[in-house]
Amino acid sequence: MDPQEYADARWHSLLRAAVDLGVDEDDAPALVRRVLAAQQHRIRRAEDPDPLVRAALTEEVLGPGERRRPPWRAIGGAVVALAAVLAVVAVTRPDEPPVDHLEDDQVPSIFGFGRQAAEELLTSRGLTVKVEPVRACEIEGRAIGSDPPRGTTYERGDPITLYTAVPSSITCLTDYQQRSTAWQLLDFANGRGAGPPFADRVGVRSAGGTESVLDHDAAADPGAWADTGVLDALRTATARVQLTDDRPLTYAVPALRIIGADEDFGPCPAPPPLAGADDAFAVLVFSPTRDGCPLRLQVSRDDAHRVESVALYPAS
């Protein structure tokens, strides 16, 4: 198969696969291009190159049985913009840059934000926000980047463009509903939304293995989750940033992936299945470094797609 024809046909799908493996949205295009370039001869000889390209992509991110490498190291520390829409802004500072946190005069991380919440955050920081929808393999309306990007220093009144997702095709996200539920849970944990629909009774398993049951009204109240530690863990996991380069200032953020509830992830085994769960899946929240096992939230839903149980397994 012609390598360019394959790349054109499968580009968005391969980007989604890279992000699902834990690669940052900003780093995925360069990583996919690198894998496609390395696999050109095999693609040309193959009738269906998809399995071999996806295997090569997985090996590039996870390594052949090795500890996962941070994606910015895999691409030589390059700063990569969202394809065709995000610009890299060179920033220099005379003083020592902050480590693993963003100051009040730096563009904040908008990982996990929807359009409205991200616009409100940026506006509250004194930025003049323009929203621009772009095609991306993500849930409708999720914030996917900004120009200038996170970490850029700014002054009040400076302009910023907020990019929000318009799904690139109907086949882009085969797990659209599950991913939507996952983002709703993260919004709920961070106080940015009412959360997904909850069943009449919601079983909750905390990180320590303690099990409890919340009725519908309690499940819809974030305060009722305090003793479980589930929302606290999600909030902490999604707020992290990692300084990866200081010229220009470049920060990595977490990533979210949906997999089957009984599916292992690399060396991270799946926990015991949720009893009696027909519609079950796992939400993985990766650290910015992509090291170790990600935070894992097992979720099950009833026939009406209402969340009926969650089980938290912390990152390691």
Task: Tell me what pLDDT residue 83 has.
Answer: 37
Mean pLDDT calculated for residue range 52-68 = 73
Task: Tell me what pLDDT residue 82 has.
Answer: 42
- Report how far apart the first and last C-alpha atoms of the chain are (Å, whole number): 41
- More confident position, 22 or 258: 258
Residues written for the chain: 316
Residue 209 has φ and ψ, to the nearest 5°, of 95, -5
Domain extent listing, the chain: 3-74, 83-173, 176-313
Q: What per-residue string of b and e applies to 256-272 under the rule 16 or more CB within 10 Å gives b? A: bbbbebeeebbeeebee
CB atoms within 10 A of CB 55: 12
- 108: nearest Cα among 139, 81, 146: 146
Question: pLDDT tens, 128-160?
Answer: 999 999 988 899 999 999 999 999 999 999 999
Task: Tell me what pLDDT residue 263 has.
Answer: 93
pTM to 2 decimal places:
0.72
CATH of domain 176-313: 3.10.450
Coil, strand or helix at 145: strand
Task: Tell me what pLDDT residue 86 has.
Answer: 39
Q: How confident is the model at residue 198 (pLDDT cuts 50, 70, 90)?
A: very high
Domain 83-173 in this protein, CATH class: alpha beta
- Average per-residue pLDDT for the chain: 85
Question: pLDDT tens, 77-92?
Answer: 333 344 333 333 334 4
Q: How confident is the model at residue 16 (pLDDT cuts 50, 70, 90)?
A: confident
> Can you tell me the distance from the alpha carbon of 303 to that of 129, in angstroms, rounded to the nearest whole number?
40
Cα 205 from chain centroid (whole Å):
23
Q: How confident is the model at residue 98 (pLDDT cuts 50, 70, 90)?
A: low
Question: Is it the case that residue 65 has pLDDT exceeding 50?
Answer: no
Question: Is it the case that residue 17 has pLDDT exceeding 60?
Answer: yes
Q: How confident is the model at residue 97 (pLDDT cuts 50, 70, 90)?
A: low
> Is 301 in contact with 264 (CB distance < 8 Å)?
no
Neighbour order of strands in the sheet with 159-167: 128-136, 159-167, 143-147
The contacts of residue 182 (CB under 8 Å, 6+ apart) are: 256, 258, 283, 297, 299
Q: To 10 degrees, the CA torsion angle through 191, 195, 199, 200?
A: 40
> Can you tell me the distance from the alpha carbon of 4 to that of 7, in angstroms, rounded to the nearest whole number?
5
Q: What is the CA radius of gyration of the chain?
A: 20
Task: Tell me what pLDDT residue 95 has.
Answer: 54
In terms of average pLDDT, the best of 11-15, 210-214, 243-247 is: 210-214
Question: pLDDT tens, 224-248?
Answer: 999 999 999 999 999 999 998 877 7
Q: Around 236, how many Cα atoms within 13 Å sit in the side-chain half-sphere? A: 9
> Can you tell me the distance from the alpha carbon of 103 to that of 145, in angstroms, rounded to the nearest whole number?
18
Task: Tell me what pLDDT residue 112 has.
Answer: 94
Q: How confident is the model at residue 276 (pLDDT cuts 50, 70, 90)?
A: low
